[in-house]
Structure 1
């Protein structure tokens, strides 16, 4: 496990190095986070949803106990913030209006169980979809525009972390009892829909001042124990490859989409994070 995690950290540090070299800066002034439970730092604590992590055994390695992070301690976001010399990135919903105006080092808008699509995970209650997260970012920008416009200058040098889409499959397309997605869309059509919605979201973030993005694809969902254990019939391989193949339809389109954005959005830098490839290494080492 330790070796797998260190590989992930190395992978992310390489990506951040590429961005920071491109902007000719040694450190980023702020980190803005958009995503799901892999990135969340406690927003769901304030939402009426079953997707919460504010109880044990979550946070068992933290002296203060559970924080709302879906892990025993720190998330990858926490480690990245520390590597940039930044404080831990606070959850948007934990901040007062004054905090939202004055904070200079970034905000975490991620929400556990959320997806690119607004309807994803609504069966679990209220979570913040990507659109909602971007609206909250817009509210942050508007507050600063009205009260502290000088603080907006660091947005173009900040890193915008986007890791979302897992739940659009786990808690949407693969849940036909709760959602009509798999009845309405073919696998390719659904992948197209997700990429189109993400493209729109990234453009909106750019309009609000974002310039430097790290955008992750979706990991090997077919290797998640819950997916493997619920498969019928049981797979003869370690993972449910039919599910991984669904994800690949989306992942195959993502690099071209972000390259297109980088060409058309003046001054933007996009780095593609390959969570799918990292998952493969972890799965092979666990065998």
Structure 2
């Protein structure tokens, strides 16, 4: 037997063993990785590679507290999915799909497909000129990453067996309101209830698509309190949140939570967790000092007023001024939370037993489930 052939057989055996021993010896499932879909709250650099996108965070002061500096994450440090990856003890942070180096062995522990300014609907994101829609994110997973993953793992089993130990995190929906519905003008606009029903119906189909591709463990992030963002001029100087916007977010979140119960029949052998970041952030805003925060109204960085992205200051000024105590601020820019808030969300997502915060179980319990 030739040396090359022998090495090939050894490699094949190792790949087969990796497929066979995906579970811990104590019967618990071992999370191999994460696949992430959604908007800027979970984007870790995909928009860096979109030439015409206005929604980018690849410049200072973004990443001021992140190892290596600005990376395309829309915060000062790590975002929620970075922190969840650490809590799941994954060997490294999840790479962005659009990075040309995200191929080969780099996809084994997951890929991030999220795109800042995108939404559930394809038309959401038009204000940013160029985004990767959620539908396109799912196509990227199906057409490019999944075949690459099969090649890397060398498994002959179906997709459901191959990726059953991967967590699928979906964080989207807020932009469909902030940068779509509430920017519309005209008498032909649908009612808020009709628009929200369309959103949840569309997202349900997108989740089912991931399910048919083999996804079994889902983490669904709620829409944050839209009416409390600093980019809203009325929020500055201590003004209260805009209830109409928060009511829209609550309406969507109620529908999103209900999808979990419906999935028991529509997506059998799957498990879904709803993370109520809306409540977690709202609780901080209402009583910031109890969590160590001092400013729940204003952004930490100097923002650039942008007619393309809301008209009242969403993103940080490149090289602009920045607050010295980021951990005391709830919001880093006009829309996105600081790393300190992301820590609160991720910690509760992973450990909370309050169903008002995570439903019906937490992410740690989801990771242990065997499918």
Q: TM-score, normalised by structure 1?
A: 0.82
| 8 Å CA contact 1:160, 1:210 repeated in 2 | yes
Report if aligned partners of 2:124, 2:179 keep a CA contact under 8 Å in 1. Answer: yes
Equivalent residue number for residue 156 of structure 1 = 164
1:73 aligns with 2:77: yes
Aligned to 2:369: none
Deviation of 1:261 after TM superposition, in Å, equals 1.4
- Secondary structure of the residue aligned to 2:260 is helix
148-157 or 239-248: which moved more? 148-157
SS of the residue corresponding to residue 112 of structure 2 reads coil
Greater helix share, structure number: 1
The question of whether the paired residues in 1 share the 8 Å contact of 2:30 and 2:165 is answered with no
Q: Tell me if 1:88 matches 2:93.
A: yes
Q: What displacement does 1:237 show?
A: 5.8
Structure 2, unpaired ranges of 5+? 1-22, 289-295, 297-371
Kindly provide the CA deviation profile for residues 59-80 of structure 1, in whole angstroms up to 9, marking residues without a partner as x: 1123532111111121121111
Instruction: State the match for 2:43 in structure 1.
Output: 40
Gaps of 5+ in 1: 1-19
Q: How does 1:268-287 map to 2 (within 5 A)?
A: 268-286=270-288
Q: State yes or no: 1:109 paired with 2:131.
A: no
1:240 aligned to 2:245? no
Cα shift at 1:149: 4.7
Q: Secondary structure at the match of 2:36?
A: strand
Matched residue SS, 1:168: helix
SS at match of 1:71: coil
Contact kept, 8 Å, 1:53 with 1:66, in 2: the verdict is yes
Q: 1:185 aligns with which of 174, 184, 190?
A: 190
Cross-structure match for 1:28: 31
Alignment of 1:196 onto 2:201: yes
Q: Do the aligned partners of residues 109 and 269 (structure 1) sit closer, same or farther apart at CA in structure 2, a change above 3 Å counting?
A: same
Q: Quote the residue 2:258 is aligned against.
A: 256
Deviates more, 1:238-247 or 1:189-198: 238-247
Tell me by how many angstroms 1:221 deviates: 0.5
Q: Which whole-Å CA distance do the structure 2 matches of 1:207 and 1:63 have between them?
A: 37
**2:155 counterpart SS class:** helix
TM-score by length of 2: 0.64
C-alpha distance in 2, partners of 1:55/1:71?
A: 11
CA change 1:60–1:43 in 2 (3 A) is same
